[in-house]
Amino acid sequence: MALKLVVIGAGMASGRAMEHLIEANDELYDITLFGAEPRGNYNRIMLSPVLSGEKSYEEIVTHDAAWYEAHGVACRFGERVTAIDRMRKVVISEKGETPYDRLLIATGSAPFIIPVPGRDLDGVLAYRDLGDVNRMLGYASKPGTKAVVIGGGLLGLEAAAGLKARGMEVTVVHLMGHLMERQLDASAGYLLQRELERRGIHVICGANTREIRGEGKVEAVLLEDGRVLEADVVVMAVGIRPNFGLAQSCGLKYNRGLLVNDEMKTDDPEVFAIGECVEHRGVCYGLVAPLYDMARVAARNLLGFHETFEGAETSTKLKVTGVDLFSAGDFAEGEGREEIVYRDAMRGIYKRLVIESDRIIGVVMYGDTADGGWFFQKLKDREDISAIRDTLIFGPAYAGGAALDPMAAVAALPDDADICGCNGVCKGKIVAAIRGGAETLEAVRAVTKASASCGSCTGLVEQVMALTLGDGFSVPSAKPICGCTDLTHEDVRRLIKSRELKSMPAVWQTCGWKTSCGCHVCRPALNYYLLADWPEEYHDDPQSRFVNERNHANIQKDGTFSVVPRMWGGLTNPRELRAIADAAEKYNVPTVKVTGGQRLDLLGVRKEDLPAIWADLNAAGLVSGHAYAKGLRTVKTCVGTDHCRFGTQDSTGLGVALEKRMWGAWTPHKVKMAVSGCPRNCAEATCKDVGVVCVDAGFEVGVAGAAGMDVKATEPLAKVAGEDEALEIIVAFVQLYRENARYLDRPYKWVAKVGMDWVRERVVDDVEHRRELVRRFDLSQKVFQKDPWAERATPATERAYAPLADLTQEAAE
Amino acid sequence: MIAQHRWIDIGPLAEIPVRGARVVKTRFGCVAVFRTATDEVFATSNACPHKGGPLSEGIVHGRKVTCPLHNWVFDLETGEAEGADEGRIETFAARIDDGRVLLDRALLVKGVA
């Protein structure tokens, strides 16, 4: 006579357990299955495709009526179990008592509902079962429905994507700083957020829900910061908790979950428990793989074996079509932990392995998760990966095979593959640096920082060098700044930052300068590096400036100077023109010329007259045009929508705004900009250091053009809709150039060394990084955005600019 | 006639920036008066023999100055151009006395080096 097995809970775990049991022996037990939902076992993790409409309920059913019938399972769906009497070994339900010999509890979990006011309103839903899905779909039938999903974890995001697919306007509100923080690190979380936003899902991180508002039904969600989000439906997906009230009330031991031993038995040897309701060795599981493992173990032990569940490493995949995401293990940074990172920003691919004691302990993948299982296997096996570490990140295609050729693997890498995880240096940047003359490992390190931190990628960097240089590799030729030092510009820039060198003597001392006070080559460079890196601490040294910057005027071949007042965006007016004409006459200026940058140049002014002519021009509201500076020179513009019948945007306005924001900033070399109001490009923006071409849809920002000794068109940096964003991107680009380029490299030379992708990632893609750049630029501007003419139109400067003594009347003897 | 003093006081040392220079006008052109990092003073002709660049506008390093126009480097003591460049600037005796800069009156006589 068969034993009686009662199963409470018709979920994925119990379904799997029954399968194992019946497969092994379908005569041992008479099975009765209780399920609270009015339907049988279905694949709960496939609810998201049902919500999004990619699958139907029928497709996700794992065990249908025919299966139960064929295997003699008595189904009691929709019938609530109210108590368990362990003394009499009966399960008490709405329709009576059911005796058992063995009991399997698989009551799963319940969604956690955060205790905010309004949580009981009509329209506040959980996301747990098919009923929830059907309720959500009920709301989706009305066009323009607004949904707020509280919780940016796995479930919340799947719900959000599903609701969006059903045509709702969806906002995700997440408490933590980035999405899926339990499964993803910040980088992958960011890529995910970007992708969801690209799909039109609005994401708010770091937001706490204060209240759900509405009269009878949901109308809005109020956040702690005061923001109000309109909502017709609110989905709470902040987490789950084990559901074991039934077991609890019959006296079984519990903690966070119903306690089970390794054989999946509760403290009553006749009562087994599996799934999300249990706690095993202190862990409650919410993912399917360990639950299936529990089901297998419980089934075997119900058959009389003594198998054990040892706990499990879990991995996660997000089931949103087109979003590939994989995470497993522990990916926090920590003492003794190393990481290997592969980043392909353009294609949105990110892979990160966390290594501890030569073993993979964490995997985070985004964009391309094909190798996730392979890494996960190594993680679970605690396999020593030291022998294949060099190519590990490239997956099974390159590692583990007999013919392991790291060179082939490196050769096959795309240019934007990350080589140095510490400093985020991609292969393309290293190749560009090598082609730019960095032919030793030290030089590559200095130029790119690749292998300059933990050094673990040194071998990879050397392979890139060997591939790029061929036989030329190993020729040591790092070029020092000048004869005063053996260090390169890049070495010194790095040391100034890392050693916090804030004065010229500090640099000379720390870097072992061979001369007492440098020379005309290194001093202007050091002066620039110091003031760019330490705007608030370093004091500009005029004696380390070339003549033009020291005098704030351009020296001419006869020793006279030229004076160029600033004309914002090339605009002027009669009052300014009169002042310029008056000054030209008063100081006998022999030549007045229109410059290439849309300014007026007064040539042939004597040095001793400079302070006076500046004072006169200042009085008319004119300031220095910095025509002498390694800094922002001019922003050329066309008349744009103001006058031109072809103009698409206010190009003059943007040019003026750019110039007002950026004047006075010192840069490694001069920076010339232009804004053209349409693609006819009358301002010649496409050969400037920074050039904007306006189009109907917004602004095309190009950088790294040249029209001097080299002629080169700009490369596209970003296309943006708004003037503010264009401005911010340009400011960030210039700041990145200020912080990283070598002195006297124009932007196009610098970009050739670091690569456009590297620039774009920091200036366009990584919004946080961009804002930091802007913040540092603005800080620097607080110090340097001062009109040098106004500061020097003083008697002291007048005296300093005049001869110290006039001995023309002095007698010789 | 009483012989005039050999030294002419041209002004306080503080009026010349450290690692900088000022010019003094004479009937035969400008003389550049340099002040080094160690507060030595040197006087030379202001014009570079190459293209006449104003040496007083150059960058002063050690006992040298670099011409602002084309980077010729001159030794302030000897007046000789350094490196591959060939040329020489006139030098004149100069000294500091009690914070004042004094130049040799000889520089007022054209052709005296």
CA distance A200 to A764: 19
Closest Cα of chain A to B12: distance in Å? 9
**Residue A498 sits at the chain B interface (C-beta within 8 Å):** no
From chain A, the residues in CB contact with B69 under 8 A are 555, 557
Predicted structure pTM score: 0.53
Which residue of B lies nearest to A608 if distances are taken between CA atoms?
Answer: B23
pLDDT number for residue A331: 73
Answer whether B25 touches A (CB < 8 Å).
yes
* A796 CB within 8 Å of a chain B CB: no
Contacts A551 to B, Cβ<8 Å: 57
Measure in Å the smallest separation between the Cα of B39 and chain A Cα atoms.
13
Nearest to A746 by CA among A630, A578, A666, A663: A630
Q: Do A803 and B24 touch (CB under 8 A)?
A: yes
Domains and CATH numbers, chain A: 3-109+242-302 (3.50.50.60), 113-238 (3.50.50.60), 322-394 (3.30.390.30), 489-545 (no CATH), 546-624+787-813 (3.90.480.10), 632-772 (3.30.413.10)
pLDDT at A476: 42
Interface test with A, best of B18, B56, B61 (most A CBs within 10 A): B61
Chain A and chain B share a number of CB contacts under 8 A equal to 102
Q: What does pLDDT average to in each consecutive run of 10 residues of chain A (813 residues)?
A: 91 90 89 87 80 81 83 90 94 93 94 89 90 87 89 89 90 91 81 87 92 92 92 91 91 93 95 94 83 91 91 73 78 79 79 90 84 82 86 74 52 74 76 86 79 62 81 59 84 84 87 84 95 93 94 92 96 95 96 95 95 94 95 95 89 95 96 95 95 94 91 94 95 96 93 88 94 96 93 88 89 65
For chain A, the first-to-last Cα distance in angstroms comes to 139
Q: Does B22 touch chain A (CB under 8 A)?
A: yes
Is residue A678 a known part of a binding site?
yes
What type of residue is A199?
Answer: R
Complex ipTM, two decimals? Answer: 0.91
Say how far apart CA A770 and CA A741 lie, in whole Å. 17
Separation in Å, CA of B58 to nearest CA in chain A: 7
The DSSP-derived string for A618-687 is HHTT--B--TTSSBEEEEEE--HHHH-TT--S-HHHHHHHHHHHHTT-B-SS-EEEEEESSTT-TT-GGG
List CB contacts (< 8 A) between A808 and chain B.
Answer: 25-27
> What stretch of H or E contains A529?
helix A522-533
Tell the residue number behind the tokens 């070029």, with chain if given. Answer: A479
Cβ of A547 within 8 Å of Cβ of B57? The answer is yes
Q: Is B62 on the interface with A (CB under 8 A)?
A: yes
A374, A369, A368: which is closest to A388 by C-alpha?
Answer: A374
Question: Distance from A809 to chain B by nearest Cα, in Å?
Answer: 8
When scoring B7, B8, B18, B23 by the number of chain A Cβ atoms within 10 A, the one with the most, hence best to mutate, is: B23
Q: Which of A547, A550, A803 sits opposite B23 (nearest CB)?
A: A803
Q: Mutate which of A520, A541, A554, A798 to disrupt the B interface (most B C-beta within 10 Å)?
A: A520
Residue A168 φ then ψ, to 5°: -85, 160
Residues 6+ apart with CB under 8 A from A547: A555, B57, B58, B68
Model confidence pLDDT, tens digit, residues B14-73:
999 999 999 999 988 899 999 999 899 999 999 999 889 999 999 999 999 999 988 889
The pLDDT value given to residue A402: 38
Buried b (16+ CB within 10 A) or exposed e, A628-639: bbbbbbbbbbbb
Q: Determine whether the interchain pair B60/A543 forms a contact, defined as Cβ–Cβ distance below 8 Å.
A: yes
Alpha-carbon dihedral angle through residues A701, A707, A710, A713, given to the nearest 10 degrees: 30
B44 touches chain A (CB under 8 A): no
- Put simply, whether B37 touches A (Cβ < 8 Å) is yes
CB contact under 8 A, B61 and A519: yes
